[in-house]
Chains A and B, each alone.
Chain A
Amino acid sequence: MNIHEYQAKDLLKKYGVAVQEGIVASSTEEAVAAATALQAQTGTQFFVIKAQIHAGGRGKGKIEGTDFRGVMVAKSIDDLKQKAAGIIGGNLITIQTGEKGKMVNKVLIAQDVYYPGPNPTKEFYLSMLLDRATGTNVIIYTTEGGMDIEDVAHNTPEKLFKEHVDPRVGLQGFQARKISFNLGLSGEANKQMVKFVTNLYKAYLANDCAMIEINPLFKTSDDKIIAVDAKLSFDDNGIERHPDLMALRDESEEDPTEVEAKKSNLNYVKLDGNVGCMVNGAGLAMATMDIIKLSGGEPANFLDVGGTANATTVEAGFRIILSDPNVKAILINIFGGIVRCDRVAQGVVDAYKNIGNIHVPIIVRLQGTNASEAKKLIDESGLKVHSAIQLKEAAELVSQVLA
């Protein structure tokens, strides 16, 4: 699960992580009030207006049909009023949102951190995540802040540092110091960075984070170390034990059919293709998507109905897949083990009858326990459903109905 920048910053502050201060607003009026309050609180002269969407590339992204960008600096309250009005309620298109863009419901009015001071400012990058290869947490950081980290890894790998954390003892002081020195810091900035990294790691662990990414991680002209942006995602397996974090979910950021599927306990991911599929098991579901592609179609979704495929789950699955107008055919692929195929077949027949007019061809492949009984049941149902037992036959049927 992902959260917004303003939520991430609120959470990090609770752990003593210094952030670029800001106040969230959902209207132009709120934005003006936020700016006034922020000025009183921090003394900032300028304001940064930051669109709150779950996607990166905001600074270069544009509000559809305008020249407003997802991150803009306002030099006065009047300027802020005009820009906030242009951003809030607009559709922001960035390199990560795709053509469809994302509706901006909220903006963060943030302090300007590039204020003048005795020392030069610096931008770094730092993230914390699991290293799957070692099974331990790793801190990845570089002096090349504000850049795409994949580009840094590819073009200048020598500038990318990694610090693994030993699960037995956790992050040690020498490691935080090493990070700070590798970033070229000294004096007060060094002290601030050690504190920043130590507290950030505490926040990472305490909240079952899948990843924290701070880009840019910023040194101000008066040697403060702060998070200017903060991207947080949580481990979906761990979030159950954090009811406070679950409250931060913003369903408007998610695909509505995916939200609907979750309510029916279905594991669904929307894709752009023309053949829907419904499968038991995640691996077989991915393999079924691949079969669709090899048969000349494109998968319209990933859908794992889990170990207990019955009439209720099949009907819910049907309704979700059929809500996608691009779907030209549906492939149901169930390997019955503990679940008997004839019961799944009965579920398919019942669901089909309940929904009524299904206008796309359906291919049902049932293999495993009682597969031939299941095929008979489908074939004798009088419904326009193609049945198969072998995966190969199912693939051929997909090609046929698409032709």
Chain B
Amino acid sequence: MSVLVNKSSKVLVQGFTGTEGTFHATQMLEYGTDLVGGVTPGKGGQLHLNKPVFNTVADAVKTTGANVSIIFVPPMFAADAIMEAADAGIALVVCITEGIPVQDMVKAKEYLQGKNTRLIGPNCPGVITSDECKVGIMPGFIFKKGRIGIVSKSGTLTYEAADQVVKAGLGISTAIGIGGDPIIGTTTKEAVELFMNDPETDAIIMIGEIGGGMEAEAARWIKENNKKPVVGFIAGQTAPPGRRMGHAGAIVGGAEDTAAAKMQIMRECGITVCESPAVLGETVAQLLSKRA
């Protein structure tokens, strides 16, 4: 089982022959991901990393049966790549690209409405199901197999959480980096919902940051549907209002999207909130041992 990706995922790389695409495709192959080929318009028919290159996603799907795509296309062309993948019927599109103009994402998000495509990202580290399939740029060796699900807006903070979970003697079922942009395909709530329904996940670590209302939405959903322990953290307790903290979406816009306000809502909804990002692993371990 697990969430989103597993051993039978057939993965396609959009922006396959570029520097980023090549580097991370190599890493994914080493991890054991079933990478079936890639797309670079104009380079169709070639072989790259011993895998076929296609001109279009539709061609690639027809030949390889790919059902997952990962995008390394430059920001000005990435929204187009997302829509092309959806048009070709790809079920899961993971967009790594950082820096996509917001108005491009307004269109892409609308385009995905009513289609059978789930988008993860953009501006995210991707998705990894430990020991099965890595569709992302995260260092695979951190993610030891286990039963904790991680959902996070941030890349390195996901690695931090995974590392702490492993140090606490546990492991990770799947980690989903949902991305740090103002418009992303899969929300915190949707990712949490996937883990709640996953028989291979016992507890969830939910990592958010300042800006937007996704964590509050997820927290309210958890209150109504809680079946598993959830540990939460919001980065940016010390961020000043109105300033963008690296991620395009990480900006305090009002009284309700500060770290303190989000943490308060999460607590009220029964989530165990960590003040410090240094105690995520031990907190989840304590919660599970209390239950056992």
Contacts and interface: CB of A to CB of B under 8 A. Distances in A.
Interface of A: 130, 132-133, 135-137, 150, 166-168, 205, 208, 210, 235-238, 240-241, 267, 269, 271, 273, 279-287, 289-294, 298-299, 302, 304, 335-338, 367-369, 390-392, 394-395
19 contacts: A130-B102, A135-B106, A135-B109, A167-B107, A238-B104, A269-B240, A282-B154, A282-B180, A283-B180, A284-B157, A286-B210, A287-B235, A290-B235, A294-B275, A337-B138, A368-B139, A391-B164, A391-B277, A392-B278
Contacts of B180: 282-283
A213 to B, nearest CB: 13
A285 B245 contact: yes
Contacts of A281: 154-157, 246
Name the prevailing secondary structure of the A interface residues: mixed
B90 to A, nearest CB: 20
Interface in B87-110: 99-107, 109-110
Contact of A241 (B101, B154, B244): B101
Nearest to B180: A282
Contact of B238 (A133, A238, A293): A293
Given A130-B182, A282-B180, 13 more contacts: A133-B213, A135-B110, A235-B103, A237-B100, A282-B246, A286-B210, A287-B154, A290-B235, A290-B238, A291-B276, A299-B238, A302-B243, A304-B246
Contacts of B206: none
A167 B99 contact: no
B229 interface: no
B156 A280 contact: yes
Contacts of B182: 130, 132
Give the 9 A-B residue pairs with the shortest CB-CB distance, closest first: A283-B154, A282-B246, A281-B156, A337-B139, A238-B101, A283-B157, A286-B235, A284-B156, A391-B278
Contacts of A335: 156, 159-160, 163
A282 B155 CA distance: 8
B270 interface: no
Contact of A284 (B110, B154, B243): B154
Interface stretch (B9-17, B33-41, B248-256): B248-256
A282 B106 CA distance: 23
Nearest to A133: B213
B209 A283 contact: yes
Interface string B135-153: 0011101100000000011
B247 interface: yes
Contacts of B142: 337, 368
Contacts of B105: 135
Contact of A392 (B154, B157, B211, B279): B279
A315 B70 CA distance: 34
Contacts of B246: 267, 281-283, 285-286, 302, 304
Nearest to A168: B110
A271 B236 CA distance: 13
A218 B246 CA distance: 36
A279 B209 CA distance: 16
Contacts of A337: 137-139, 142, 156, 159
A367 B243 CA distance: 28
A103 B212 CA distance: 33
Contact of A290 (B163, B164, B276): B276
Contact of B106 (A130, A292, A293): A130
B238 A132 contact: no
Given A132-B213, A286-B250, A208 B102 contact: yes
Nearest to B155: A281
B106 A167 contact: yes
Nearest to B240: A271
B237 interface: yes
A267 B235 CA distance: 17
Contacts of B254: 150
B245 A269 contact: yes
Given A235-B103, A241-B76, A292-B238, A395 B156 contact: no
A135 B277 CA distance: 29
B87 to A, nearest CB: 16
Nearest to B24: A338
Contact of A130 (B141, B183, B259, B278): B183
A290 B237 contact: yes
Interface string B274-292: 0111110000000000000
Contacts of A168: 110
A139 to B, nearest CB: 14
Given A335-B160, A368-B163, A237 B102 contact: yes
Contacts of A241: 76, 101
B102 A282 contact: no
Nearest to B163: A367
Contacts of A391: 160, 164, 277-278
A254 to B, nearest CB: 12
A207 to B, nearest CB: 10
Interface string B195-215: 000000000000101111100
B212 A291 contact: no
A367 to B, nearest CB: 6
A133 B213 CA distance: 7
B183 A291 contact: no
B27 interface: yes
Contacts of A240: 75-76, 99
Contacts of A137: 103, 106
A394 B254 CA distance: 32
Contact of A132 (B139, B163, B183, B235): B183
B209 A286 contact: yes
B160 A287 contact: yes
Contacts of A132: 182-183, 211-213, 249
Contacts of A299: 238
Contacts of A291: 276-278
B54 interface: no
B233 interface: yes
Contacts of A304: 246
Given A135-B109, A205-B103, A286 B239 contact: yes
Contacts of B183: 130, 132, 135
A338 B278 contact: no
